[in-house]
Amino acid sequence: MGSAWSVRVAVGALAIVAAGCFQPVGPARTFHDYELKAESTAKSARSSVETARLAVQVATDGDAFPPYVSVLLAEAESDASNSQGTFLGIQPPDKHSDRLRDRLGRLLEQTGNVLSTLRITARRADLQQLKGQAARLPALSKRLDRFATEHE
């Protein structure tokens, strides 16, 4: 009796902990839900863009080693790509959401392209090339920030 109770308690506790650990991306049933997810995706993509901007700055100023810059840019690209994949995988609930999806989708694609180029260049340890390739990052960051603010 005692041990069966202990097992039940242990299984229950594990289930609660597991429920807390998993962060599933739920469906968006209304435009508002969808907008919240879009806002969070834009913020996350902006974080990747800003990380990449700083990485390029320390690289071109000679303040960082090529392997470190390469890791930073690869992770920034991977994060942006994950955010994009997750957001585009959510079913937009209405026509209004379709327009939101298109707008953010374009921004995310442009972000992904720039970050990919930067990652490829950094892997070749050609750090001085990064500055020119990163020229679009400030504008992308601003647009993502504006998007997130508009949909707060």
Partner 1 sequence: MKRLVGVMLGVLTAIGGFMDIGDIVANSATGARFGMSLAWAVLLGTVGIVVYAEMAGRVAAVSGRPTFDLVRERLGARMAIVNLAASFFINLLTLTAEVAGVAIALQLATDVNYLLWLPLTALLVWLVIWRVRFTLMENVFGLMGLAMIVMAIAVWQLHPDWSQLWHGASHPVVPSGEGHATYFYYAIALFGAAMTPYEVFFFSSGAVEEHWTRSDLSENRANVFIGFPLGAFLSLSLMALATLVLFPRGISVDHLSQAALPVSLSLGKIGLALIIVGFFAATFGAALETGLSAGYTISQYFGWQWGKRNRPRDASRFHLVVLVSIGVAMLVALTAVDPVKVTEYSIVLSAAALPLTYFPILVVANDPDFMGDKVNGRFGNAIGSIYLVILVVVSLATIPLMIITKAGA
What are the residues binding partner 1 (CB under 8 A)? 10, 16-17, 19-21, 23, 43-44, 46-47, 50-51, 53-55, 57-58, 61-68, 70-72, 75, 79, 123, 145, 152
Judged by beta carbon, residue 31 or residue 68, the one nearer partner 1 is 68
Q: Which is nearer to partner 1, 99 or 131 (CB)?
A: 131
Q: Find the shortest distance in angstroms from Cβ 109 to partner 1.
A: 20
Which CB sits closer to partner 1, 19 or 95? 19
Distance CA 44, CA 49 (A): 9
Q: What does the block give as tokens for 111? A: 């972000």
Considering the complex, what minimum distance in angstroms separates the CB of residue 125 from partner 1?
Answer: 9
26 vs 95, beta carbon nearer partner 1: 26
Minimum distance from CB of 96 to partner 1 (Å)? 23
